[in-house]
């Protein structure tokens, strides 16, 4: 569980769709942003997605989640205004094309924004564009300003960035940054890194703001227990032929265990029936795979109260604090879990007692008694 709601059923149902919409989408994009940021290995990633985002609010939510996930800034002015996210951008191809030559366009841009020049160099010919940027960069320097850098938006980014770096360095612009964009995602960035690039910063749009390769997180909101008239919680379970769609019963909490500052496993358990002895978790996809977490002394409950009896009891962190927390939390997981190809699976499972109660509820609901022959046969 990411979130637990306790309340009268009609109230709990009223918030269902809103919670799912907000939590599913923003978790999805924050996760994608964390992946892209990991791929960039400390270099800044700017979120560039609004033009292709799913609705205007979809774009603003995406900018917010991308920032929390680790992006350094957004090109979405509205997100900057509404949420205070740092805003970054460059000039557009259309501005370059307005002028008779690229050089004239760069000169006009530099005159208008002398302290904010990232020249988009690929409108006609990328390397000629770099040379034009250098020429205008020299003029800027004479005026007492420095260009920030250039932006590549098409072509072979690995090769072009190395050639552009040579040209910039030879011309005395070793500090000028090279920003790359063009349908980037964590896989392309990782591949470019592997090829050796001179790129310093990354503009990531469509594939981040829409989480292109998996555009929906299939989170659900399920009833797991009802309180009887005597105040006791009663388990509830929804069956399904698809095992992943069978729900988990109980009043659920998640405990994360640590060893030497590294997260080693998460146990989903029932607060009403915490284990008396050992903390053993069962893999939900293979019940014979189990892990005993008892030897790890350090642990933490992941669900914390936000509202109690309708009043907020939580101090909402700033976006910057949320972003910092993401980056810190990612450090708790070893690299094998975070790699993009064939990652190691982080152990997260049902606490053994809960697993057993779930199994017997399923068997009972299907007319079997756990451990006994099917009731149909025993009659």
Which residues of this chain interact with a second copy, rule CB under 8 A? Answer: 9, 12-13, 16-18, 20-22, 24-25, 50-62, 92-95, 97-98, 122-125, 154-156, 206-207, 210-212, 215-218, 221-223, 226, 236-242, 245, 365-366
Per-residue b/e over 303-328, b at no fewer than 16 CB within 10 Å? eeeeeeeeeeeeeeeeeeebbeebee
Q: Which two structure tokens, joined as six digits, stand for 364? A: 């009972």
Q: Which two structure tokens, joined as six digits, stand for 97? A: 């094309």
- Which CB sits closer to a second copy, 226 or 312? 226
**Nearest distance, CB of residue 141 and a second copy, angstroms:** 28
Q: What is the DSSP string of 153-194?
A: -SS-HHHHHHHHHHHHHHTT-TT-EEEE-SS--HHHHHHHHH
- Which CB sits closer to a second copy, 240 or 345? 240
Q: What is the DSSP string of 235-298?
A: E-----SSGGGSPPPSSEEEEEEEETTEEEEEEEEETTS--SS--EEEETTEEEEEEE-TT--E
Q: Cα torsion for 5, 345, 326, 219, to the nearest 10°?
A: -30
Per-residue b/e over 89-107, b at no fewer than 16 CB within 10 Å? bbbeeebbeeeeebbebbb
- Which CB sits closer to a second copy, 239 or 370? 239
**Nearest distance, CB of residue 260 and a second copy, angstroms:** 38
**Nearest distance, CB of residue 57 and a second copy, angstroms:** 3
**Nearest distance, CB of residue 84 and a second copy, angstroms:** 19
CA 177 – CA 175 distance, rounded (Å): 6
**Nearest distance, CB of residue 63 and a second copy, angstroms:** 11
- Which CB sits closer to a second copy, 61 or 299? 61
**Nearest distance, CB of residue 209 and a second copy, angstroms:** 8
- Which CB sits closer to a second copy, 215 or 343? 215
**Nearest distance, CB of residue 88 and a second copy, angstroms:** 15
- Which CB sits closer to a second copy, 108 or 254? 108
Longest dimension (CA), the chain: 96
- Which CB sits closer to a second copy, 12 or 327? 12
- Which CB sits closer to a second copy, 6 or 313? 6
**Nearest distance, CB of residue 73 and a second copy, angstroms:** 16
CA 140 – CA 289 distance, rounded (Å): 64
Angstrom distances, CA of residue 19 to CA of 4, 25, 247, 344 = 11, 10, 18, 30
CA 163 – CA 73 distance, rounded (Å): 27
- Which CB sits closer to a second copy, 165 or 207? 207
Q: Is the dihedral of CA 159, 162, 166, 172 positive or negative?
A: positive
Query: How many beta carbons lie within 10 A of that of residue 123, not counting itself?
Result: 20
Contacts of 149 (CB under 8 A, 6+ apart): 118, 119, 176, 177, 178, 179, 200, 201
**Nearest distance, CB of residue 138 and a second copy, angstroms:** 24
């Amino acid at each position: 569980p990411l979130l637990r709601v306790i309340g009268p059923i009609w109230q709990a149902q009223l918030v269902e769709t809103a919670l799912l919409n907000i939590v599913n989408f923003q978790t999805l994009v924050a996760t994608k942003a964390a992946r892209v940021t990991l791929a960039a290995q400390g270099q800044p990633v700017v979120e560039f997605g609004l033009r292709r985002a799913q609705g205007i609010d979809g774009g603003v939510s995406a900018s917010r989640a991308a920032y929390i996930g680790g992006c350094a800034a957004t090109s979405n002015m509205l997100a900057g205004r509404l949420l205070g996210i740092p805003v970054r951008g460059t000039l557009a191809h259309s501005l370059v094309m307005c002028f008779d030559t690229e050089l004239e366009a760069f000169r006009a841009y530099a005159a208008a924004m002398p302290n904010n020049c990232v020249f988009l160099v690929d409108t006609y010919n990328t390397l000629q564009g770099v040379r034009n940027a250098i020429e205008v960069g020299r003029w800027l320097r004479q005026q007492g300003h420095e260009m920030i850098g250039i932006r590549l938006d098409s072509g072979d980014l690995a090769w072009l960035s190395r050639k552009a770096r040579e040209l910039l360095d030879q011309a005395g612009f070793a500090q000028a940054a090279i920003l790359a964009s063009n349908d980037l995602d964590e896989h392309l960035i990782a591949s470019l890194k592997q090829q050796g690039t001179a790129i310093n910063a990354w503009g990531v749009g469509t594939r981040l703001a829409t989480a292109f390769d998996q555009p929906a997180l299939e989170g659900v909101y399920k009833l797991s227990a009802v309180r009887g008239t005597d105040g006791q919680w009663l388990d509830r379970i929804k069956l399904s032929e698809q095992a992943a769609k069978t729900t988990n019963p109980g009043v659920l909490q998640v405990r994360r265990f640590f060893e030497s500052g590294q997260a080693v496993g998460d146990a989903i358990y029932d607060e009403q029936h915490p284990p008396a002895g050992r903390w053993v978790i069962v893999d939900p996809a293979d019940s014979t795979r189990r892990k005993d977490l008892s030897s790890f002394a350090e642990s933490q409950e992941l669900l914390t109260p936000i509202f109690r009896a309708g009043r907020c009891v939580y101090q909402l962190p700033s976006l910057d604090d949320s972003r910092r927390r993401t980056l810190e939390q990612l450090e708790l997981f070893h690299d094998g879990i975070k790699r993009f190809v064939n990652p190691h699976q982080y152990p997260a499972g049902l606490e053994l007692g809960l697993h057993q109660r779930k199994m017997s509820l399923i068997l009972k609901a299907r007319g079997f008694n756990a451990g006994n022959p099917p009731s149909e046969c025993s009659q």
